[in-house]
Structure 1
């Protein structure tokens, strides 16, 4: 499980850097200031939570008895739903996609809280 989490995290980190560069260079002249800020928010949360996923992978190696499956799944889902909806909204201009974003935010929160409880119970 730790290898899958670590590989997923490192891929998502590379993707976050690519998305940030794409936004800063390719999209700079094509999106409004508001949509560029939306893109930046997506990149920021993508990067932070991919780092969090990397941390979870390291915890899985250091503490192999620690159950990290659900926190990892929820952070991954949060990146897809939160950042993915913002990326799509910025590119398409369809603001109703913003309705999906809070579900991703809740996934982030749930993942971190489940990790907290898992560590506390250990």
Structure 2
């Protein structure tokens, strides 16, 4: 993904994290028990952390350091946010909407995507010519 796309996607994920965090704190309080609210908050927290990570990747792409691997990283982090945080949002809301059982196993796949994304960032730094 290009640096401009990376910045746009990062900004969108950060915006949505703030919006979903406010929704969880105000809209879901009273509808979900504390355990489910904590799950929702975990999704928001990880989404925001990785949105910041996408901004960092965009800056690294700007420096032309390991662009190929950083491109892979941006896709894996984006997919990981959607799969990991998205599945946590759905699982947290299981008290108010019926969630199919197959959603649960998506969370670890999202976590794996996040780990692969950070691994790609690590690998990208070996292509730097000092």
Q: TM class by shorter-chain length? A: over 0.9
Give structure 1 stretches of 5+ with no counterpart.
Answer: none
Distance in 1 of aligned mates of 2:40 and 2:46: 10
**In the TM superposition, what whole-angstrom CA distance separates every residue of 1:2-40 from its partner, at most 9, and x where no partner exists?**
101100100110000001010000101100111101101
The match for 2:46 is 45
| 2:71 aligned partner | 69
Q: Please say which structure displays the higher CA radius of gyration.
A: 2
C-alpha root-mean-square deviation of aligned residues, in Å?
A: 1.5
Count residues in correspondence.
122
Cα separation, 1, equivalents of 2:6 and 2:22: 24
Task: Extract unaligned runs of 5+ from structure 2.
Answer: none
Q: Indicate how the Cα distance of structure 1 residues 91 and 63 shifts in structure 2: closer, same or farther if over 3 A, else same.
A: same
Q: Distance in 1 between matches of 2:30 and 2:66?
A: 50
Match of 1:99 among 102, 105, 110: 105
Is 1:81 aligned to residue 87 of structure 2?
Answer: no
Q: CA deviation at 1:79?
A: 0.3
TM-score normalised over the length of structure 2 = 0.88
1:16 and 1:28 map into 2 onto residues whose CA distance is 17
Distance (Å, rounded) in 2 between the aligned partners of 1:9 and 1:42: 16
Distance 1:38 1:6, change over 3 A: same
Higher mean displacement: 80-89 or 96-105 = 96-105
Matched-pair contact (CA < 8 Å) for 1:66–1:119: no
Runs of 4+ residues over 6 Å off in structure 1: none
